[in-house]
Amino acid sequence: MSASPPALKAQSSAHGQIQSGLTDLYHRLLPNREGELADYIPELAKVPADQFGIAVATADGEVITAGDADAPFTIQSVSKALTLAMLLDLVGREATYQAVGVQPSGDPFNAITLDPRSNRPFNPMVNAGAIAVAGRLRETLGRTAFGQSLAKLSEAAGRELRVDENVFESERETGHRNRAIGHLLRAAEVFTVPVDEVLDVYFRQCSILVSATDLAVMGATLANIGRNPKTQREVFGLETVRETLSVMFTCGMYDGAGDWACRVGLPAKSGVGGGIMAVVNRQLGIGVFSPRLDAEGNSVRGKLCCVGLADELGLHAFEFTNPGSSFLRAIGGRG
Ligand code: GLU
């Protein structure tokens, strides 16, 4: 048998190192039972609490996993980053930001409030902002809005996704705060289509079933500037990816966003289903699933796992080993 070329050897040893890092982290964090399940709907309180899956997808399409990486759970608020990207591609930056701002808000994610300066939601990662995005998608795409959102998220995951109908029904039955937000947005003319049609899109998008592997591939699609590294399909535009990652970095982790930015230093979005999707620009997507949540609503093990990976692999955006702009290096700048 001929020996592998050096580049391939280096690549497989990098994958081997990531694999052993993931396996170690999995065993180290598995005994951690801190946090509580989301219980605003009975379906989420019924989820087996001990599940724990980690997946990393590289921008060259390799997927490395540990634990329950293929266990299904509802995407919930992680969908907010992807529908924002979809709207940015569809209507552009200016029209998107006529509907929603990009300021971190000091309010809870489900606050029934708008930014008093603009009369628009603070950002697309809180419920008001995500419902504004759903409203603009409904307005732009009509009745096909949810079908197209599901197709877009499926393209980002590289496989066909589906909705958990029980979760969807519960979200719809109990979503009074979200309905109130919908009416506030309609009154402010953020959208002009009926509130119920918009909430149907929003509740369905929250109820899409994914796995940690799906979140990793979605993250890798963003890391790979919009092209799914598994299928090689263009899913999002270049500027859209930059915009989306910026909003994830500043607003993606509920009221824990600042702490996350310092400790992990990666753009990320979490959901109350226990999922976290994080992105290492141009290199990796990370997906973690563990349903027990901390006081901020982020997965306890998911957060610890991302802290561990960031430390171990030097992933923080401002890591001192990060060489900065390749453009400046190419023209002779310091690097
Ligand atoms: N369906 C949830 C809601 O709108 C999503 C919450 C979340 O994941 O942050 O309240």
Assess contact for 23 and 305: CB atoms under 8 A: no
Per-residue confidence band for 9, with pLDDT thresholds at 50, 70 and 90: low
Pairing of strands 268-270, 275-280: antiparallel
Assess contact for 17 and 312: CB atoms under 8 A: no
Assess contact for 289 and 278: CB atoms under 8 A: no
- State percent of the chain over pLDDT 70: 96
Q: What is the DSSP track for 115-164? A: BTTTTB-S-TTSHHHHHHHHHHHHHHHGGGHHHHHHHHHHHHHTS---B-
- In tens, the pLDDT along 90-140 reads 999 999 999 999 999 878 889 999 999 999 999 999 999 999 999 999 999
332 or 233, which is more confident?
A: 233
Q: How far apart are the first and last CA of the chain?
A: 41
Q: What is the mean pLDDT of residues 310-323?
A: 89
Enzyme catalytic residues = 77, 80, 202, 254, 272
Assess contact for 62 and 191: CB atoms under 8 A: no
Measured between alpha carbons, how far is residue 335 from residues 112, 321, 324, 329, 331 in Å?
A: 47, 10, 7, 6, 11
- In tens, the pLDDT along 163-187 reads 999 999 999 999 999 999 999 999 9
Ligand 1 centroid vs 213 CA: distance in angstroms? 21
Ligand 1 pocket residue status of 44, Cβ below 6 Å: no
Q: What's the chain's average pLDDT?
A: 94
DSSP H/E element including 55: strand 53-58
Assess contact for 288 and 212: CB atoms under 8 A: yes
Please name which of 64, 74, 182, 86 lies closest in space to residue 127, comparing C-alpha atoms.
182
- In tens, the pLDDT along 45-85 reads 999 999 999 999 999 999 999 999 999 999 999 999 999 99
Q: Which two tokens stand for residue 154?
A: 């499926």
Q: Which two tokens stand for residue 198?
A: 């918009």
Per-residue confidence band for 5, with pLDDT thresholds at 50, 70 and 90: low
**Packing angle, helices 145-157 and 195-206, rounded to 10:** 20
Ligand 1 centroid vs 6 CA: distance in angstroms? 47
The pLDDT assigned to 10 comes to 63
CATH class of 21-313: alpha beta
pLDDT at residue 1 tops 50: no
The pLDDT assigned to 106 comes to 78
Residue type, 96: T
Domain map (residue ranges) of the chain: 21-313
Q: What is the mean pLDDT of residues 242-263?
A: 95
Atom of ligand 1 nearest to the CA of 207: 1
The pLDDT assigned to 334 comes to 60
Please, which residues bridge with residue 277 across strands? Answer: 269, 287
The pLDDT assigned to 163 comes to 98
Ligand 1 centroid vs 80 CA: distance in angstroms? 10
Ligand 1 pocket residue status of 281, Cβ below 6 Å: no
pLDDT at residue 7 tops 70: no
Cα separation of 84 and 326, whole Å? 28
What residue has token string 């947005």? Answer: 185
The pLDDT assigned to 235 comes to 98
Give the list of residues 6+ apart from residue 184 with CB closer than 8 angstroms, or none.
Answer: 112, 113, 114, 128
Cα separation of 156 and 222, whole Å? 8
The pLDDT assigned to 320 comes to 85
